[in-house]
Amino acid sequence: MDFTLSEEQKIFQTTIRDFAKRELQPIAQSLDESEDFPFESLKNLGKLGVTGLTVPEEYGGSGGTRIHWCIAMEEVACACASTATVLDTSMGIGGHAIKLYGSHEQKKKYLTPLARGEKIGAYSLTEAAAGSDPSLVETTAVKDGNSYVLNGTKIFCSNGDVADTLVVFATKDKSLGHRGLSAFIIEKDTPGFSAGRIFKKLGIRAAHNAELILEDCRIPAENLLGEEGKGFRVALSVLDSGRIGIAALAIGIARAALEASIAYTKERRQFGQPIADFQVTQFKLADIAMGIDAARLLTYRAADLEDKGLPFSTEAAMAKAFSSEVAMAAATEGLQMHGGYGYMMDMPIQRYFRDAKITQIYEGTSEIMRVIIARNLLR
């Protein structure tokens, strides 16, 4: 077993890290305060090849691996978790759904501009009554000749108000539960489709989160993604992949919290010495470092399994649950080490604290991750 990155992967990591520190980190705090969507950052990530990292060259990508995706997500998130969330939504789940289940024509039309960073993607499954349980989706899709007519309301759609291409889930019959679910590709200018209110969030504030409204939204039948009635499979498999990206994102936040805490504790002096000299501080830093390393290994294992075409659902759930909890612990302990200054809004540790929490919730809560792990153990 090889636990080290290849020379090519190390060069790639350095390239993304340098870009993130130079272009993303300096504006992260201002984006958080203004809640301005990072359009320019996403375009620049496209020029760097990150948006199309795991997409075949035929469709505008660079044909990289999921390990490459994890490396990129960690580095982007360490600099700006909002931008990492936007990237994950656009390509980690939105574009990835089209990559996995789209026809050649759908990939050419929709995946290619997403991979190049020319357009923004989104993925919308959640509704007011359907969160952890997708079988409760109430948005309907009725076949009408060569079209489908969609009606319903979605919530918490990341990138929802700015996305050009959205993967939306709807059912042909609510009584069928998950067996009625299908996935559809919707373009933002489609009549009957609109973004509703933009939700105000605790963290990742520059990554917009919107309500979607579908009122007799008519889309061509060729925009069905995958097979009719097989949307549940689409949703679960895409979320399995997406959880690997969120795990890497959480590691990035944890690393940012650790780096900030190391720097602060070396500078902050109490009782005549830097607080980094106190054993209690050293133990906290050591625990965070151990957690990050373990989380990264879990995440890379899941990514490697996906790259090899092997089952990875359990491993992705483990990586996502563990990494998100490491991020929350790193930010919490980091804030504590900063003392009163950590509670002030001009210190970045408070942003890491706010950003970390969502990693335990979106793309499957920590509780649902444990359900998945236990269910697979007990088969």
Task: Identify the active-site residue in 215, 222, 363, 367.
Answer: 363
Asked if 299 contacts 242 with a C-beta cutoff of 8 angstroms, the reply is no
Please report the beta strands in the chain, taking only residues with DSSP state E, as ranges in sequence order: 121-124, 140-144, 147-158, 165-171, 181-187, 193-198, 209-220, 224-225, 269-270, 273-274
Q: Hey, what's the torsion of the CAs at 22, 24, 27, 32, to 10 degrees?
A: -160
- Report which of 214, 212, 185, 218 is spatially closest to residue 109, judged by C-alpha positions: 185
Pairing label, strands 209-220, 181-187: unpaired
d(CA 254, CA 337): 14
105 has catalytic annotation: no
- Report which of 126, 97, 212 is spatially closest to residue 163, judged by C-alpha positions: 212
Asked if 122 contacts 159 with a C-beta cutoff of 8 angstroms, the reply is yes
d(CA 75, CA 96): 20
Q: Hey, what's the torsion of the CAs at 322, 328, 332, 338, to 10 degrees?
A: 100
**Residue 360 CA: distances (Å) to CA of 30, 328, 357:** 24, 8, 6
DSSP code per residue over 262-300: HHHHHH-EETTEEGGGSHHHHHHHHHHHHHHHHHHHHHH
By annotation, the residues acting in catalysis are 363
